[in-house]
Amino acid sequence: MLLAIRVEVDSLAAARDALPPFLDALTRLNASASFFINIGPDYAGKTRSKLFRIGENKQQVRNNLSLAGPHGLARLYGYLLPAPQLVSKAASQLLAIKTAGFETGLLAWDRVKWVQGIANADEAWVHTELQAGCDAIESLFGERPQGLALPRWGSSRVAMRLAQRLGFVYLSASRGTHPYLAVTDGEPVNLPQLPTSLPTLSELIGLAGRDEQGAADYLLHLTANIPPIGHVFNISLSADGGKRLPLLQQLFTAWREQGYELASLQQLHQHTHNHILPWHSTQQQSWPAYQGLLTTQGPAFPG
């Protein structure tokens, strides 16, 4: 059974510092994954605002900020310093993803702008952001992205419809339990959704007294019973690709021992061809540890 690894390359620091050792770790384990890139400007300095904080208590928020928050000059990106674009400033590191044989997809052109604006965005705004991201991915890798994994699982009916029109073959833009086809605001979108089905390390560590090992044990408890289609686990390289890399390697090895194949989302999408995907409504809901609303997998449609 497949356990797909959804990796967010979400900042310049993540691309330059966390990505190379993470690629090496996957290669050594002969594991696969999909890398979704914030390909445009890195407004890291703006991610210290409340909207981007993760945690249900002050300790969690503090710990996550210390790992994923901007450091050094990156604190000034978008304020006193111009925001560097990953497509130009981290081109060699990003190209190494494809060279190593991994799938690349689009996270966003500008993840900060997306998280701040998607809730009230009209079609023109969404199209501009997605088109810019697609064009930049194509200019760097020589091919259009097949998968779209939106920042902070922030989506909308307009975004899903435009993703289909722009040629994406699957979305990973919601939290849920299993792959499905979405009905959003009453409109069916015939584009498979591969939702993130497992909690992230940032959501678990520091909650209910859990340390890193406690978080790993909890995840392994959740994956002990293998589901019919598989799981999706999200990794933010800004938060998880540095000090937490040994913990991730431990998890990857343990999941193999449970019987999972560590896969890309493209592989999971291909695997869904063997199943008739159910239709589910999507909802905008509050989610533990986050400010604002996330897109979630709702009840089966029709209920």
DSSP letter for 275, please.
S
Residue 84: per-residue pLDDT: 95
CB of 213 closer than 8 Å to CB of 219 = no
| Nearest alpha-carbon partner for 36 in 210, 196, 218 | 196
Any residues with CB less than 8 A from the CB of 286 and at least 6 apart, and which? Answer: 292, 293, 294
Question: Is the Cβ–Cβ distance between 266 and 37 less than 8 Å?
Answer: no
Q: What is the pTM of this model?
A: 0.96
Domains of the chain (ranges, CATH numbers): 2-41+84-300 (3.20.20.370)
Average pLDDT over residues 244-254: 97
Q: Which one, of 107, 105, 113, lies nearest residue 143 by Cα? A: 105
pLDDT for residue 66 is more than 90? no
What is the Cα–Cα distance from 139 to 129, expressed in whole angstroms? 16
pLDDT 10s digits, 158-206: 999 999 999 999 999 999 999 999 999 989 999 999 999 999 999 999 9
Please report which confidence band the pLDDT of residue 117 belongs to, taking 50, 70 and 90 as the band edges.
very high
Distances (CA, A) of 284 to 68, 122, 267: 25, 16, 28
- CA separation, residue 176 to residues 7, 45, 133, 253, 297 (Å): 17, 30, 25, 24, 5
